[in-house]
Structure 1
Amino acid sequence: MADTTQTTAVVEQPHGAEHEIEPAALGLTPGMWVAASMLVFLLVLVWKKVPAALAGGLDKQIVAIRKHLDEAKTLRAEAEKLRAEYAARIANAEKDAAAMLAHARTEADAIVAKASADAQDVIVRRERMAQDKIAATERATIDELRAKAGAIATAAASQLIASNLGADADRALVDSTIAGLAH
């Protein structure tokens, strides 16, 4: 085997500073060995197509992110559309509510007007019925008074006849009536 002992030489520098010499193997310094190993590592990565796999994975992630962004844009557009639709529905509902309120007020006014007219009709009918009852009561009272007056007049006439006519006056009246018939 080869002797791999390291030798270090110290070279004196002016001003008293010391400088150390780096060891070398196969003519390469440690920095060169690190650079060479990095180069070999990178070549192995390229040979195994790791950058392409990383780029492919990143591309897939970019595609997935773009897909998510597109979906988010679509969802946002749909949300904006729904918001506009609901805003329109709310505006229409407010208009419908105002129209319903106006219609209800119109119907209430019509109901009040009809009730007022119906009340007037009822008042007129009841006045007519009261007047008809009064007229019927007046007629019944007049008929009753006439009947009583006729009864009283009959009673008075019978009393007058009974007091003014006796049996002789009756015979004379009957005889004159018979004589008037014979002629």
Structure 2
Amino acid sequence: MRTLLAIALASLTASPALAASGPFFSLDNTNFIVLLAFILFIAILFYFKVPGKIGEMLDKRAAGIKSDLDEARALREEAQTLLASYERKQQEVQTQANRIVETAKSEAAAAAEQAREDLQRSIARRIAAAQDQIASAEAAAIKDVRDRAIAIAVAAAKEVMAKQMTAAQGNKLIDESIKQVDAKLH
């Protein structure tokens, strides 16, 4: 109410109506009527407690803004917590991926070494098998040559004996051979 009174006094002292001629407090003076209407308007505003309602509205708005700010702070903190959590998870996943890569590299190196050893053993086995086949082929060739040599020698001996031996000597040899076979079989 004091502010209203101060406003009214200030408007009275600074009014251009004072510079005009004639009485100020007359209903014929439009400045006085406007002043009365303004004071009446201000009084009606105070009667209906408009400044209090405006204050309440501003307080509600301030409380709403404060709650929005608090909510925004809480959301920001939650977002920072989530970000930190995701960064930790990303770091863990990166570490795990690095371990998987290192394990895969070491397993690949071990598999390559094992494959190299298996290949060397396979080559050694094939070389040994080839050498065995060569030795077997050599033995078969030597046996074949001996068998042919024996067959040729027997044929040559038969031919030589047939030319030098008489029928009586041949019969005698046959009889001796039969006796030897008979003695060995019985």
TM range (shorter): 0.7 to 0.9
Deviation at 1:21, TM superposition (A): 3.4
SS at match of 1:23: coil
**Map of 2:74 onto structure 1:** 74
**Separation of aligned partners in 1, 2:118 and 2:174:** 74
Q: For 1:79-90, what aligned pairs fall within 5 Å after superposition?
A: 79-90=79-90
Deviation at 1:52, TM superposition (A): 1.9
**Map of 2:154 onto structure 1:** 154
Residue 125 to residue 49, structure 1, CA distance change in 2 (3 Å): same
SS at match of 1:24: coil
**Map of 2:8 onto structure 1:** none
Q: Which amino acid aligns with 2:95?
A: K
TM-score (norm: length of structure 2): 0.72
Which has more radius of gyration?
Answer: 1
Residue 175 to residue 123, structure 1, CA distance change in 2 (3 Å): closer
* Contact 1:24 1:30 (C-alpha < 8 Å) held by counterparts: no
**Separation of aligned partners in 2, 1:82 and 1:23:** 77
Q: Encode CA deviations 1:8-67: one digit per residue, 9 max, x unaligned.
A: xxxxxxxxxxx753423359x877665554443222112112112111211221121112
**Separation of aligned partners in 1, 2:119 and 2:66:** 77
Deviation at 1:96, TM superposition (A): 2.1
Runs (5+) with no aligned partner, structure 2: 1-18, 181-186
Percent of residue pairs bearing the same amino acid type = 32
**Separation of aligned partners in 2, 1:63 and 1:20:** 50
SS at match of 1:25: coil
Q: Which amino acid aligns with 2:136?
A: A
Residue 22 to residue 52, structure 1, CA distance change in 2 (3 Å): same
**Map of 1:52 onto structure 2:** 52
SS at match of 1:96: helix
Q: Which amino acid aligns with 1:55?
A: G
* Contact 2:26 2:32 (C-alpha < 8 Å) held by counterparts: no
**Map of 1:14 onto structure 2:** none
**Map of 1:23 onto structure 2:** 23
Deviation at 1:73, TM superposition (A): 0.8
Q: For 1:116-135, what aligned pairs fall within 5 Å after superposition?
A: 116-135=116-135
* Contact 1:45 1:51 (C-alpha < 8 Å) held by counterparts: yes
Q: Which amino acid aligns with 1:133?
A: Q
**Separation of aligned partners in 1, 2:47 and 2:151:** 151
Runs (5+) with no aligned partner, structure 1: 1-18
Hey, which of these two has a bigger chunk of helix by percent?
A: 2
**Map of 1:63 onto structure 2:** 63
Higher RCO (C-alpha under 8 Å, 6+ residues apart): 2
Residue 176 to residue 139, structure 1, CA distance change in 2 (3 Å): closer
